[in-house]
């Protein structure tokens, strides 16, 4: 049975259950918001300092780096009030720079892939940085995940959070226009984590910002997520070619392993042998959400770990959701808990516009023009 977050926290507080990672008790976590705390996390090779910000509110604990806006850890309680970090990450900045497969990062200027790193806008062809075979992935060789953002902490009413700022200059990674991006992370009194993205440009461009947290609701380093139950409100998905670029088709999920309209264990059909799964080594596809683009965030996905009871509900105004089942984790990375990350040890649920949208007229547009403001919101609601 799924319990309300406040019920779980009240029960944990009454029992005085100790938290398992950061110390303290669930009672302390239930006491409300705390002003963001800043500490030095490390330095880049050129001496640039990277800071870590710690936030806590409504029973959720969040640690964010100024480098890439990275979520280094996110802790929530299980059905008994016991805390675990449910996101993959590293203990040292050097690992994020040298090894990270986008753990916890903000992604831009364009999340996901663009075929051959090329698109045409207003009659002009643009060549982007190519960093995934012949394609451009997540903004190119030095996307938004590899820059230090300016961070401004805030408390507003019962909310606590961070404003993150980055300016991408005209021509960076091949993209036209100087893009001024602002991303706001907010923890509210219920422990919900909200991401608000904003951007403006001085020249027509394309933009698709997202977050690349790797989730394991049983706790990072605890093993496979194949027993996690996933539901996605989508009747269609976008099949891909051998380079994981959408073909342009919006295929029906009915009768395929891609049907998550009703909750099912991720492992149930992951080895079904569907050609799209063989090609991607699992799931690494965009689901075309039934709701499309909406004015406000709507519930589009639910992820649940039966063992701990931890549940994540995702709300977004975006038209797509990329579900990636951690296919390329290969046991060479050691995370914050000292465990290696292997294939299927985490998953990503990236709210987004469709991959390669600039090259598909039938996909929702990702064009941003001067005078317009790109705005989108994703909310993560936790319970147990």
The active-site residue out of 56, 350, 353, 380 is 350
Token pair 């093993």 is at which residue?
Answer: 223
DSSP states of 191-256 as a string? --EEEEEEEEESS-EE-B-EEEPPB-TT-TTS---TTSEEEE--SEEE-B-TTS-B-S--EE-TTS
User: Which two structure tokens, joined as six digits, stand for 226?
Assistant: 């194949």
Nearest alpha carbon to residue 147 among 94, 95, 69, 71: 69
The active-site residue out of 147, 212, 228, 353 is 212
Helix (H, G, I), strand (E, B) or coil at 328: coil
Task: List, in order, residues 6 or more apart from 103 with CB less than 8 Å away.
Answer: 70, 87, 88, 89, 90, 96, 212, 213, 214
Task: Give the other-Cβ count within 10 Å of 134's Cβ.
Answer: 11
220 is catalytic: no
CA distance 56 to 49: 23
CA distance 79 to 81: 6
Nearest alpha carbon to residue 56 among 82, 83, 74, 79: 74
380 is catalytic: no
Which amino acids are annotated catalytic? Answer: 212, 350
């Amino acid at each position: 049975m799924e319990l309300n977050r406040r019920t779980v926290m009240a029960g944990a507080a009454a029992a005085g259950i100790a938290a398992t990672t950061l110390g303290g008790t669930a009672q302390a976590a239930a006491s409300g918001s705390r002003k963001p705390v800043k500490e030095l996390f490390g330095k880049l090779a050129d001496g640039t300092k990277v800071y870590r910000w710690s936030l806590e509110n409504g029973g959720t604990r969040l640690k964010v780096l100024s480098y890439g806006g990275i979520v280094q850890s996110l802790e929530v309680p299980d059905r008994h009030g016991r805390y675990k970090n449910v996101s993959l990450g590293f203990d040292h900045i050097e690992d994020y720079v040298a090894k990270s497969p986008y753990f916890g990062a903000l992604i831009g200027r364009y999340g996901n892939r663009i075929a051959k790193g090329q698109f045409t806008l207003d009659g002009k062809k643009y060549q982007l940085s190519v960093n995934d075979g012949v394609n451009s992935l997540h903004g190119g060789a030095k996307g938004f995940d590899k820059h230090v953002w300016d961070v401004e902490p805030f408390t507003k009413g019962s909310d606590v959070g961070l404003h993150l700022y980055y300016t991408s200059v005209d021509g960076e990674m091949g993209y036209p226009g100087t893009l001024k991006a602002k991303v706001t992370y907010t923890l509210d009194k219920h422990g919900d984590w909200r991401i608000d993205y904003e951007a403006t440009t001085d020249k027509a461009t394309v933009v698709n910002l997202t977050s690349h947290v790797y989730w394991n609701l049983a706790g990072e380093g605890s093993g496979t997520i194949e027993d996690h139950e996933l539901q996605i409100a989508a009747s269609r998905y976008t099949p891909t070619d051998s380079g994981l670029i959408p073909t342009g088709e919006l295929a029906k999920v009915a009768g395929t392993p891609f049907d998550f309209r009703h909750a099912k264990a991720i492992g149930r059909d992951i080895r079904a042998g569907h050609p799209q799964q063989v090609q991607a080594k699992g799931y690494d596809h965009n689901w075309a959400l039934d709701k499309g683009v909406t004015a406000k965030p709507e519930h589009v996905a639910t992820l649940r770990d039966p063992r701990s009871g931890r549940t994540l509900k995702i709300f977004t105004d975006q038209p797509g959701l990329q579900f990636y089942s951690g296919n390329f984790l290969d046991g060479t990375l050691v995370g914050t808990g000292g465990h290696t990350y292997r294939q299927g040890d985490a998953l990503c649920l990236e709210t987004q516009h469709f991959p390669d949208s600039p090259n598909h007229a039938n996909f929702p547009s990702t064009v941003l023009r001067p005078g317009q403001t790109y705005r989108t919101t994703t909310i993560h609601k936790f319970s147990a």
